[in-house]
Chain A
Amino acid sequence: MLATEYFPILILIVLGLVFATVFTLAGILLGPKSRGKDKEMPFESGFASKGLVGQRYDVKFYMTALIFLIFDVEIVFLYPWAVKFRELGWFGFIEVCFFILLLLVSLTYVWKKGALEWE
């Protein structure tokens, strides 16, 4: 039963493969190619990039973004707890507190390491 039901997936994987190959190849074959100084430049939200890449300002910005990314995603684990807050009761609360504690430790670590300093 299941075999017939899911068999189209196999076909479509093949189809997907063909489509993706065709389009990518078309892009490579037909598209104009430009390799040069401009192409290798980093994007800077519409501005022409100026100054050296190794500027301090850039790196600091980057660091903050990375740290934000990782802490931001951790929130995902709080949603299930929030939804089932009442059912989970004290057990859930303690678990979440422990989780937050670990996050706090890592935040302190980041802070003490000086990754949050702008200058």
Chain B
Amino acid sequence: MIPTQHVLILSAVLFTTGVLGVMLRRNVIVIFMSIELMLNAVNLSFVAFARALDSMTGIIFIFFIIVVAAAEAVVGLSIILSIYRNQKTLNVDEFNWLKW
């Protein structure tokens, strides 16, 4: 059986990768994928804790995170589509109506 620590370490690494991806990448879709990566890292750590503590709460939490992430993705993609229609680019550097 894989020790809990190892899973937690993986989740921490994935989470930081996601955070850095959001901060460094310039394409909206890639930023979006990084955010999803962060949420999935959280899911992983919930799984690890739920197994270690032998408790169902963590598992239930994951179900809701999955659904919320999907809802966020749908709304996000719709907004991106709407932006693409107006601007014809997905590079955040070129979105300069409001300063970043």
Contact = CB atoms under 8 A, between A and B. Distances in A.
B84 A53 contact: yes
Say whether chain B's binding surface is mostly helix, strand, loop, or mixed: helix
B89 A40 contact: yes
Interface in A1-46: 5-6, 8-9, 12-13, 15-17, 19-21, 24, 28, 40
Interface in B71-100: 71, 73-74, 77-78, 81, 84-85, 88-91
29 contacts: A5-B5, A8-B5, A8-B9, A9-B12, A13-B12, A13-B16, A16-B12, A16-B16, A17-B16, A17-B20, A19-B13, A20-B17, A21-B20, A24-B24, A40-B90, A40-B91, A53-B88, A54-B85, A69-B70, A70-B70, A70-B74, A72-B70, A73-B66, A73-B70, A74-B67, A76-B63, A76-B66, A76-B67, A77-B67
Contacts of B84: 53
A80 interface: yes
A25 to B, nearest CB: 8
Interface of A: 5-6, 8-9, 12-13, 15-17, 19-21, 24, 28, 40, 53-54, 59, 62, 66, 69-70, 72-74, 76-77, 80
